[in-house]
Chain A
Amino acid sequence: MSLRLFLPRDTTAAALGAEAVARALDREAGRRGMSLELVRNGSRGLFWLEPLLEVERDGERVAFGPVTVDAVPPLLEALATDPGAHPLCLGPVREIPYLNSQQRLTFSRAGEGDPLCLDTYRALDGFAGLERALGMAPQDIVSAVTESGLRGRGGAAFPAGIKWQTVLDSPGEQKYIVCNADEGDSGTFADRLLMEADPYQLIEGMIIAGLAVGATRGYIYLRSEYPRARDTLEQAIARARAEHYLGGAIRGSDNGFELELRLGAGAYICGEETALLDSLEGRRGMVRAKPPLPAISGLFGQPTVVNNVLTLAAVTTVLAKGPQFYRDFGVGRSRGTLAVQLAGNIRRGGLVELAYGATLRQLVEEYGGGTCSGRPVRAIQVGGPLGAYLPESRWDTPLDYEAFAGINAMLGHGGVVVFDDTVDMARQARFAMEFCAVESCGKCTPCRIGSVRGVEVIDRIIAREEPAKNAALLRDLCDTMEAGSLCAMGGLTPLPVRSALDYFPEDFPPGVSGEVC
Chain B
Amino acid sequence: MLQFYEPEQDYGTPAVAAGPPVSLWVDGQAVTVPAGTSVMRAAALAGVKVPRLCATDSLEAFGSCRVCLVEIEGMKGYPASCTTPVQPDMVVRTQTEKLAGLRRNVMELYISDHPLDCLTCPTNGDCELQDTAGELGLREVRYGYDGANHLGAAKDESNPYFTFDASKCIVCSRCVRACEETQGTFALTIQGRGFDSSVSAGQGEAFMDSECVSCGACVKACPTATLTENSIIEQGKPEHTVVTTCAYCGVGCAFRAEMKGTRVVRMTPHKDGSANEGHACVKGRFAFGYTTHRDRITQPMIRDSIDEPWRTVSWEEAIAYTARRFRAIQQAHGRNSIGAISSSRCTNEEVYLVQKLVRAGFGNNNIDTCARVCHSPTGYGLKTTLGESAGTQTFASVAHTDVVLVMGSNPTEAHPVFGSRLKRRLRQGARLIVIDPRGIELVDAPHIRADYHLPVNPGANVAVLNAMAHVIVSEGLQDDAFVAQRCDTDQFSRWLAFIRDPRHAPEAVEHSTGLTPQLLRDAARLYATGGNAAIYYGLGVTEHSQGSTAVMAIANLAMLTGNMGREGVGVNPMRGQNNVQGSCDMGSFPHELPGYRHLSDAATRALFEGEWNVALDPEPGMRIPNMFDAAIDGEFRGLYCQGEDVAQSDPNTQHIQAALAALDCLVVQDLFLNETAKYAHVFLPGSSFLEKNGTFTNAERRISPVRRVMPPLAGKEDWEVTRDLANAMGCPMHYEHPSQIMDEIARLTPTFRGVSYARLDALGSIQWPCNEQTPDGTPIMHVDVFVRGKGHFALTEYVATEERANRRFPLLLTTGRILSQYNVGAQTRRTANSHWHPEDTLEIHPHDAEERGVAQGDWVGIRSRVGHTVLRASITERVKPGVVYTTFHHPLSGANVITTDNSDWATNCPEYKVTAVQVSRVTEPSAWQARQQQFDRRQQQLLVAATAE
Contact residues of A with B, CB < 8 Å? 267, 269, 284, 286, 289-291, 437-453, 456-457, 473, 476-477, 479-480, 483-486
Contact = CB atoms under 8 A, between A and B. Distances in A.
Contacts of B194: 437-442, 447-448, 451-452
Contacts of A450: 109
A438 B109 CA distance: 17
Interface string B69-81: 1000000011010
Nearest to B148: A452
Contacts of B148: 452, 456
B105 interface: yes
Contacts of B67: 445
19 contacts: A286-B190, A289-B82, A291-B84, A442-B190, A442-B197, A443-B197, A445-B65, A445-B67, A449-B109, A449-B113, A452-B147, A452-B148, A456-B143, A456-B147, A456-B148, A479-B105, A483-B69, A483-B78, A484-B69
B80 A442 contact: no
Given A442-B197, A444-B64, A484 B102 contact: yes
B462 interface: no
B623 interface: no
A485 B193 contact: no
A443 B64 contact: yes
Given A437-B194, A442-B171, A451-B194, A484 B78 contact: yes
Given A445-B110, A483-B78, A440 B193 contact: yes
A320 B37 CA distance: 45
Given A448-B197, A473-B142, A484-B78, 7 more contacts: A290-B83, A440-B195, A441-B193, A445-B66, A447-B194, A453-B147, A486-B64
B63 A442 contact: no
B676 interface: no
Interface in B57-109: 61-67, 69, 77-78, 80, 82-85, 102, 105-106, 109
Contact of B102 (A284, A480, A486): A480
B112 interface: yes
A267 B193 contact: yes
Given A442-B197, A484-B78, A284 B109 contact: no
Nearest to B113: A449
Contact of A453 (B85, B109, B173): B109
Contacts of A476: 105
A449 B112 contact: yes
Contact of B171 (A448, A483, A484): A448
Contacts of B192: 442
Interface in B108-136: 109-110, 112-113
B148 to A, nearest CB: 5
B704 interface: no
Nearest to B193: A442
Contacts of A286: 190
- Per DSSP, chain B at the interface is loop
B652 interface: no
Given A473-B143, A483-B77, A284 B190 contact: yes
B524 to A, nearest CB: 26
A437 B195 contact: yes
A12 B716 CA distance: 87
Contacts of A479: 102, 105
B196 interface: yes
A452 B195 contact: yes
Contact of A444 (B63, B77, B78, B195): B63
A457 B143 contact: yes
A479 B101 CA distance: 10
A448 B195 contact: yes
B14 to A, nearest CB: 15
A291 B78 contact: no
Contact of B195 (A446, A449, A485): A449
Nearest to B99: A483
A208 to B, nearest CB: 31
Given A284-B190, A441-B193, A486 B63 contact: yes
B189 interface: yes
Contacts of A444: 63-66
Contacts of B69: 483-484
A443 B78 CA distance: 17
A385 to B, nearest CB: 14
Interface string B412-432: 000000000000000000000
A485 B65 CA distance: 9
A449 B578 CA distance: 47
A486 to B, nearest CB: 6
Contacts of B193: 267, 269, 439-442
B153 to A, nearest CB: 15
A269 B194 CA distance: 10
Contacts of A483: 69, 77-78, 102
A450 B105 CA distance: 10
A223 B67 CA distance: 33
Contacts of A485: 66
Given A284-B190, A289-B83, A486 B66 contact: yes
B625 to A, nearest CB: 54
Contacts of A456: 143, 147-148
A171 to B, nearest CB: 16
Contacts of B197: 441-443, 448
Contacts of A484: 66, 69, 78, 102, 105-106
Contacts of A447: 194
B66 A446 contact: yes
B143 A289 contact: no
Contacts of B110: 445, 449
Nearest to A439: B194
A486 B65 CA distance: 9
Contacts of B78: 483-484
B783 to A, nearest CB: 32
B196 A445 contact: no
B786 to A, nearest CB: 37
A289 B66 contact: no
B100 to A, nearest CB: 12
Contacts of B105: 476-477, 479-480, 484
Contacts of A445: 64-67, 106, 109-110, 170
A291 B85 CA distance: 8
A284 B189 contact: yes
A440 B190 CA distance: 13
A281 to B, nearest CB: 12
Q: Which of A441, A457, A480 has the most CB of B within 10 A?
A: A480
A191 to B, nearest CB: 23
A485 B69 CA distance: 10
B426 to A, nearest CB: 16
Nearest to A454: B143
Contacts of A440: 193-195
Nearest to A441: B193
A480 B189 contact: no
A447 B148 CA distance: 14
A267 B194 CA distance: 11
A431 to B, nearest CB: 15
Contacts of B147: 452-453, 456
Contact of A480 (B77, B106, B112, B113): B106
Nearest to A482: B77
Contacts of B85: 291
B139 to A, nearest CB: 14
A437 B195 CA distance: 7
Contacts of B106: 445-446, 480, 484
A291 B66 contact: no
A286 B105 CA distance: 23
A174 B858 CA distance: 53
Interface in B178-234: 189-190, 192-197
A486 B84 CA distance: 12
Contacts of A439: 193-194
A247 to B, nearest CB: 28
A452 B147 CA distance: 8
A448 B197 CA distance: 8
